[in-house]
Structure 1
């Protein structure tokens, strides 16, 4: 019997990661019975892209209960704007439905606690789609740690780099406002914090961080003119904007893709969703989030994380080192090599025993989005968890809560200039023990 899914938030992400795979790859086990969104144009885009859902019922965002009563889904897939995740998750749990939710699970620690408490009372369960865990390099790192190759983990250095194409896109879209995204320490860095939490199997306890808005916003040093309300596609300052010129020519422009709410390019539709443009000026004064962070995180098992992220760099990727009582793991990756203005090497893992010879480990890579991670994640979601895998990988609500709480602790530490405890973010009066 097929499992029935309702999609809440018919975003580009929903169409690409969920709708397409369900109708093309997992149609024997799964079916889509409802689409829910605030914008009717999204239904049109989805159905043009995937005619298989042409007859699927459509619902406005205020009609959640009606949708459930009429279409009787077994599970809800939430891929709407970040700040709306909590509402759909709570409504689904109240009706004992399973939930698959895009990261971040919510945008505040308080909302994460609400979800944990609701899940404890519900027959439904929450799954958070942390696809980074599924990348072949990342699963190999997990396996090396589980094998005891580096002993007990003592410290982690993780430095993440976002290039000017990808980084500036966050400041062109809804992500630029903390009330919508929670800030990039949640919207983006929750991915990174979840990876570390999963790798080392320790829980974050306390965070201290610095950060600021260095590149974007009205005071950005490359702002050609202080003026709000501009859009890249029509801006008279195009030729004076270094960010625009880097990725666009005078005769043709590069469309910045949006994971959630973006430019429509399906069939006869080529434009923007209703009331939304993903090319807002990166120098607008309404931007209220940071674009650089440096943070230290202390874990309950004693490990320490030194983390940084920068959203305006010449290339994209990360550098990672994990130290333990028996050795060290190192790796570095260049994302989007087609945008990197110099040759890049294939990613490998270097293992250094505390006493002995270095090993260079080549990992078998796989096809698919996010470095081969997405197809494996989707198999776990729609075929059931791979029973031959010897460790837990699919993320639950507690995983989602710790990742969000760490991100909130980062930006709050920046604002309040003090260490922030994770318990404080999640609220000490919670009724659900934070155990995995």
Structure 2
């Protein structure tokens, strides 16, 4: 059956993850009927890449109702800046429309509760695109757990590493302000929290965390300029050759290497979008989010998670161990191999029974973004959930809400130096009474 889609937030992610496959792979079942954004330049970028959507109607961010009236979509795809998700999701649900939203679903647990309440009174359904679930390594881990290989899960160790290329990009753009991103424990770590929640099939109950700003901001020991100076941009900075973050990823002849989820990486030496610079100084005083977290999470069925993330490291990837009453699963990933500055081993999954011989699993890999997860997620979105798969994988609003509540609990616990319950964030009225 043909479905009509309208996109709110014409970002690079929107173009690559949703619009491109709609046109090239799922054109028999999918039609793009509307584009909504606050910057007309984004429409031009999209239509330059895909001239076949030249006819698609364009709408300003204030024209959601008009877009619905004109185009009569079946599904709204939400892919703008994180803080804009809530408005488009709620408006879509009022019109009984299905929603596909990029993670994070919202930037606060309070807004997640609003979405879940709105969904209860709507015919529409919210789907959150947690694509990490779909990586072949991650689905294999899920299958091992479902097979009972490690028994009842007791603890999880997950240490995530973001390299200086990727990590610094968050501090060069809108993510550096909590009002836009919710902080990196929400924007980035919600991915990881959802993955753990899905793997173990348990719900988080309580979080205690520490956080710090160690690498970025004016007080960083890596800051090559005076702490009092603000408003610098990499493209015009006079001391950029003394900045390790710039020098590591750019040659002296470069003007600027754009690192941004919303701008094509081939775009250089230009400001592509209106009033938008992805090369703000990573040492500005307005930076208010953390770049380092450690957290302990208690789950409703007894599992304990030990989690850490660092946004300024020599390589990118993660180390994972899941322990149970029958054994242990381990794996290490080195992400973005072209940016790893040393030889690294191929990823495998090691299974250690509590009493027995170790098994090493070589997972069949797939092409595509997020470790081969994106193409499979797209099939579930545009063709319907794979009926052969024996377990649930596509995320809904509750999944999105728990992941974001965990992220909010992390930064609040770090700031307030106390444990935070998930219930107090997602259902504060019940806690108060």
TM-score, length of structure 2 as denominator length: 0.97
Aligned length: 429
* Contact in 2 for aligned 1:74/1:97 (Cα 8 Å): yes
Q: Which residue in 2 is equivalent to 1:240?
A: 242
Contact between 1:263 and 1:271, CA under 8 Å: does it hold in 2?
A: no
Residue 169 (structure 2) pairs with residue 161 (structure 1)? no
Q: Report the RMSD for the aligned CA atoms in angstroms.
A: 1.5
Per-residue CA deviation, residues 116-160 of structure 1 (Å, 9 max, x unaligned), is: 000000000000000000000000000000000000000000000
Give how far 1:337 is off: 1.2
Match of 1:150 in 2: 150
Q: CA separation in 2, counterparts of 1:19 and 1:409?
A: 34
Cα distance change, pair 237–187 in 1 and its aligned pair in 2 (3 A) = same
Counterpart for residue 9 of structure 2: 9
Contact 1:321 1:328 in 2 (8 A): yes
Paired position in structure 2 for 1:275: 275
Aligned to 2:332: 332
1:269/1:418 Cα in 2 relative to 1: closer, same or farther (>3 Å)?
closer
Superimposed CA distance per residue, residues 354-380 of structure 1 (whole angstroms, 9 cap, x where no aligned partner)? 000000000000001111000000000
Tell me, in whole angstroms, the C-alpha distance in 2 between the residues paired with 1:4 and 1:264.
29
SS of match in other structure, 1:232: coil
Q: Secondary structure at the match of 2:69?
A: helix
Determine if contact 1:351/1:358 at 8 Å carries over to the other structure.
yes
Distance (whole Å) between structure 1 residues aligned to residue 168 and residue 425 of structure 2:
28
Within 2, Cα distance between the matches of 1:69 and 1:265? 37
Instruction: Provide the residue aligned with 2:369 in structure 1.
Output: 369
Deviations 1:43-93 (A, max 9, x none): 000000111111000000000011001100001000000001000000000
2:27 aligned counterpart, secondary structure? coil
Aligned pair partner of 1:256 in 249, 255, 258: 258
Tell me the equivalent position of 2:28. Answer: 28
Partner of 1:185: 185
Deviation string, structure 1 residues 171-193 (Cα, Å, up to 9, x no partner):
00100100000000000000000
Which deviates further from its counterpart, 251-260 or 397-406?
A: 251-260
1:173 aligns with 2:173: yes
In 2, the alpha carbon distance for the partners of 1:177 and 1:82 equals 11
The CA distance in 2 between the partners of 1:391 and 1:301, in whole Å, is 19
User: Hey, what's the Cα distance between the residues in 2 that align with 1:193 and 1:280?
Assistant: 29
Instruction: Confirm or deny: 8 A CA contact 2:259 2:265 kept in the other structure.
Output: no
Stretches of structure 2 lacking an aligned partner (at least 5 in a row) = none
Pick closer, same or farther for the CA change 1:231–1:263 going to 2, 3 Å.
Answer: farther
Secondary structure, in 3 states, of the residue corresponding to 1:207? strand
Q: Note if contact 2:256-2:269 (Cα within 8 Å) is conserved in structure 1.
A: no
CA distance in structure 2 between the partners assigned to 1:220 and 1:46 by the alignment: 38
Residue 381 (str. 1) matches residue 381 (str. 2): yes
Within 5 Å, which residues of 2 pair with 1:32-431? Answer: 32-225=32-225, 226=227, 227-252=229-254, 255-260=257-262, 262=263, 271-429=271-429
Partners of 2:366 and 2:2 in 1: CA distance: 28
In 2, Cα distance between equivalents of 1:389 and 1:231? 48
Q: What are the Cα deviations for residues 327-349 of structure 1, in whole angstroms up to 9, with x where unaligned?
A: 00000000011111101111000
- CA spacing shift, 1:14–1:355, aligned 2, 3 Å: same
Distance in structure 1 (CA, Å) of the matches to 2:379 and 2:201: 24
Query: Does structure 2 retain, via aligned residues, the 8 Å contact 1:319–1:331?
Result: yes
Structure 1 residue 252: Cα displacement = 2.8
Gapped regions of structure 1 (runs ≥ 5): 431-436
Query: 2:166–2:259: 8 Å Cα contact kept in structure 1?
Result: no
Shift of 1:272: 1.9
Once residues 189 and 74 of structure 1 are traced to their aligned partners in structure 2, the CA distance between those partners, rounded to angstroms, is 31
What residue number does 1:433 align with? Answer: none
Q: TM-score, normalised by structure 1?
A: 0.96
Q: Is the CA contact (8 Å cut-off) linking 1:175 and 1:183 kept in structure 2?
A: yes
Q: SS where residue 116 of structure 2 aligns?
A: helix
Q: Is the 8 A contact 1:127 1:397 kept in 2?
A: yes
